[in-house]
């Protein structure tokens, strides 16, 4: 076996000379390899001259008995061309050889015939040959038929890979350099036409097939960044649709060709809904007061501070309400802590139903609550909201054994302060004056 049509040192030197003349070392290294099972002679010389500039060729009369342990460069063979007359002279044993060794089992084999193929040649197609080529054959046609055979074999291997990936619980997909899907192991239900058995994702973009266009846009932007920088990424998205809400983790990495150029993106999608919901629940627990399920002191203050940041503010006026339960210690002492907890829970329920979703509400102390009214027009409107809340509290405890009234101090943004600390100090002073004046009332901050 050798890499030339004629055995011997002289031709090896000639072959190396042709390689230097026809391609650079880098180009030759990435050439696909083809085996010519053709005896020495004119046919081998002809085929070699037609293919050697495009393919790396290995020539031999027969397969070695130890083929599976042959040199590693023989393991990358993409196709084999077999001289049919030579095969017939050997009683077609060569054809049987090509079907057994692992390196050949998935290769496209092309038979070469002089003139029209015989019936026994045609029968070889039924035995697994990819094609029969009648010689002489124009170079362009020969190159095309060999290229088609290799491409078809690669496609078959690709289909096998897809079928294997479909057995995994995670979704694996591949995109080309233009962000179009080459394949996806599974179709998730957030896609248009995903339930159609005849529909294929191949050749389509995220914007064309995904129902959530915001997530589609995010996917395409991350793809462009990967193709530009060569750096992979990972992120979590929430997909909603058809009554189902899921969290999906996407892990994306660039794909390189043999020349080191990025030619696509491969990605893994994991359903992390359970993990994400658990994380959100843990985060929620750290932000909420366990008794009232309002924001706790730290979260209340952080939310209000964030709202007061210039970049976050899309409103002009606001009001901070400091709320204190009157004589709550007396309720705890005379009726017990369980009754006291019930009072606090009921006040929290009324708070949730009395203020808007855009307002911030929280429990900031044992018997203290805080509300920040966002986008409130003036002090009169803030006072009206506080007094209406007090009336609802009175109504809620009208028939209850435990009674509760509230004192409220009000500070206005920006009149009484533009930071949380300034507003808190002003509202706390107003609350102090309200309780000293008459419990169960509300008072607006005044510098007097």
pLDDT digits (tens, 9 = 90+) for 300-313: 999 999 999 887 67
Q: How many angstroms separate the CA atoms of 83 and 113, rounded?
A: 7
Q: Are residues 366 and 413 in the same domain?
A: yes
Q: Are residues 30 and 88 in the same domain?
A: yes
Q: Residue 2 falls within a domain, yes or no?
A: no
Which residues span the domain enclosing 155? 9-160
Question: Residue 97 — very low, low, confident or very high, per pLDDT cuts 50/70/90?
Answer: low
Q: Are residues 193 and 294 in the same domain?
A: no
Q: Residue 283 falls within a domain, yes or no?
A: no
What does the chain come to in residues? Answer: 448
Higher local confidence (pLDDT), 104 or 392: 392
pTM of the model: 0.47
CATH code of residue 199: 3.30.450.20
Coil, strand, or helix at residue 283?
A: helix
Q: Are residues 266 and 342 in the same domain?
A: no
Q: Count CB atoms within 10 A of the CB of residue 127.
A: 12
Task: Mean pLDDT check: name the lowest of 148-162, 170-184, 406-420.
Answer: 148-162
CATH code of residue 135: 3.40.50.2300
* Residues 28-58: tens digit of each pLDDT: 556 888 989 888 898 999 999 999 999 999 8
Q: Are residues 94 and 184 in the same domain?
A: no
Q: Are residues 439 and 292 in the same domain?
A: yes
Tokens of 298: 């730290």
Structural domains of the chain, count = 3
Coil, strand, or helix at residue 212?
A: coil
Q: Where do runs of H (alpha helix) occur along 167-210?
A: 206-209
- Tell whether the model's pLDDT for residue 317 goes beyond 70: yes
């Amino acid at each position: 076996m050798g890499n030339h049509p004629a055995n011997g040192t002289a031709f090896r030197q000639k072959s190396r000379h042709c390689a230097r003349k026809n391609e650079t070392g880098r180009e030759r290294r990435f050439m696909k390899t083809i085996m010519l099972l053709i005896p020495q002679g004119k046919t081998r010389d002809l085929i070699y001259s037609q293919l050697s500039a495009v393919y790396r060729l290995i020539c031999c009369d027969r397969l070695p008995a130890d083929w599976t342990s042959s040199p590693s460069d023989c393991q990358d063979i993409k196709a084999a061309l077999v001289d049919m007359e030579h095969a017939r002279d050997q009683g077609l044993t060569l054809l049987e050889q090509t079907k057994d060794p692992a390196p050949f089992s998935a290769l496209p084999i092309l038979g070469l015939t002089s003139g029209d193929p015989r019936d026994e040649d045609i029968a070889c197609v039924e035995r697994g040959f990819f094609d029969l080529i009648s010689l002489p054959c124009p170079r362009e046609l020969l190159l095309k038929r060999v290229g088609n055979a290799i491409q078809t074999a690669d496609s078959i291997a690709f289909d096998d890979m897809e079928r294997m990936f479909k057995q995994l619980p995670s979704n694996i997909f591949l995109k080309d350099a233009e962000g179009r899907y080459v394949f996806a192991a599974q179709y998730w239900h957030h896609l248009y036409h995903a339930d159609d058995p005849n529909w294929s994702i191949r050749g389509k973009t995220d914007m064309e097939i995904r129902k959530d266009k915001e997530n589609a846009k995010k996917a395409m932007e991350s793809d462009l960044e990967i193709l530009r920088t060569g750096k992979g990424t990972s992120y979590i998205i929430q997909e909603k649709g058809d009554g189902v809400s899921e969290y999906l983790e996407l892990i994306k990495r660039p794909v390189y060709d043999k020349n080191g150029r990025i030619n696509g993106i491969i990605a893994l999608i994991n359903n992390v809904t359970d993990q994400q919901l658990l994380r959100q629940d843990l985060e929620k627990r750290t932000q909420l007061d366990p008794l009232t399920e309002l924001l706790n002191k730290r979260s209340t203050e952080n939310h209000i501070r964030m709202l007061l940041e210039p970049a976050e503010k899309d409103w002009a006026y606001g009001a901070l309400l400091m709320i204190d339960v009157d004589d709550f210690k007396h309720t705890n002492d005379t009726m017990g802590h369980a009754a006291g907890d019930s009072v606090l829970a009921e006040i929290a329920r009324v708070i949730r139903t009395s203020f808007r979703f855009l307002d911030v509400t929280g429990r900031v102390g044992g018997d203290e609550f805080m509300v920040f009214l966002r986008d409130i027009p003036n002090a009169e409107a803030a006072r009206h909201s506080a007094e209406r809340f007090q009336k609802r509290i009175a109504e809620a405890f009208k028939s209850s054994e435990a009674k509760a009234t509230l004192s409220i101090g009000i500070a206005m943004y920006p009149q009484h302060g533009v930071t949380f600390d300034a507003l808190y100090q002003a509202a706390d002073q107003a609350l102090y004056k309200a309780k000293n004046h008459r419990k169960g009332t509300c008072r607006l901050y005044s510098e007097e």
